């Protein structure tokens, strides 16, 4: 199939791709407290990441965003999940590729995006997190190295409350090891 056959029909669901990464060092996770001037999530804690640029693959985008926002050259960048977030009348959305990575050190470079903070995993409940992180972050940080990625769909109810629906993942083998969906 050539380029001209790769047609996009504007009546179909369209999505903007983004990356989100949670970087760890020991029992701490690096979070970005959004700058007070940010349009979305000012003063709230989130992982690091951003938009995937045209001509860029997802892995390269995640590494670039991590470098731009933290100054770190991480290792063990691992895809943990994919989020589908419809945002405009169910016709347009955001696809977020969620990663974890390990920091080689804790020396971060300040970012215009906000303030970078190493946070103990046990302290996450005391922070003002972006609305999906109380569900997402503990699950992502608990995933074993060989766990398959999760898939989730976000929606909002009539009261504008976030609803997260995770797709069931059947038992599968990866590298000869049985992986159970409950042990993601």
Residue-level pLDDT at 156: 86
pLDDT in tens, 133-153: 999 999 999 999 889 999 999
Model confidence at 45, in pLDDT bands (50, 70, 90)?
Answer: very high
- The model's pTM: 0.87
Residue-level pLDDT at 3: 54
Residue-level pLDDT at 172: 56
Average per-residue pLDDT for the chain:
87
Residue-level pLDDT at 170: 65
* Dihedrals phi, psi of 117, to nearest 5 degrees: -140, 135
Residue-level pLDDT at 37: 78
pLDDT of 19 strictly over 80? yes
Residue-level pLDDT at 183: 45
CA atoms of 117 and 110, how far apart (whole Å): 10
Residue-level pLDDT at 9: 67
DSSP 37-82: T-SSSTT-EE-EEEEPPTT--HHHHHHHHHHHHH----EEEEEEEE
pLDDT in tens, 78-92: 999 999 998 877 688
Domain boundaries, the chain: 13-183
Model confidence at 181, in pLDDT bands (50, 70, 90)?
Answer: very low
**CATH homologous superfamily, domain 13-183:** Nucleoside Triphosphate Pyrophosphohydrolase (3.90.79.10)
């Amino acid at each position: 199939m050539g380029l001209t056959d790769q047609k996009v029909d504007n009546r179909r669901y369209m999505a903007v791709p983004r990356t989100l990464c949670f970087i760890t060092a020991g029992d701490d996770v690096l979070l970005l407290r959004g700058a007070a001037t940010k349009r979305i999530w000012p003063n709230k804690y989130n992982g690091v990441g951003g938009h995937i640029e045209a001509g860029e693959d997802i892995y390269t985008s995640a590494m670039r965003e991590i470098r731009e926002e933290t100054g770190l050259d991480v290792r063990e960048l691992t895809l943990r999940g994919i989020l589908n977030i419809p945002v405009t009348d169910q016709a347009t959305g955001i696809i977020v590729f969620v990663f974890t990575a390990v920091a080689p050190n804790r020396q971060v470079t300040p970012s215009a995006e906000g303030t970078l903070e190493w946070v103990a995993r046990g302290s996450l409940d005391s922070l003002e997190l972006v609305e999906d992180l109380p569900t997402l972050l503990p699950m992502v940080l608990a995933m074993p190295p060989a766990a398959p990625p999760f898939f989730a769909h976000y929606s909002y109810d009539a009261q504008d409350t976030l609803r997260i629906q995770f797709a069931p993942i059947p038992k599968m083998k990866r590298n000869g090891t049985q992986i159970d969906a409950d042990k993601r």
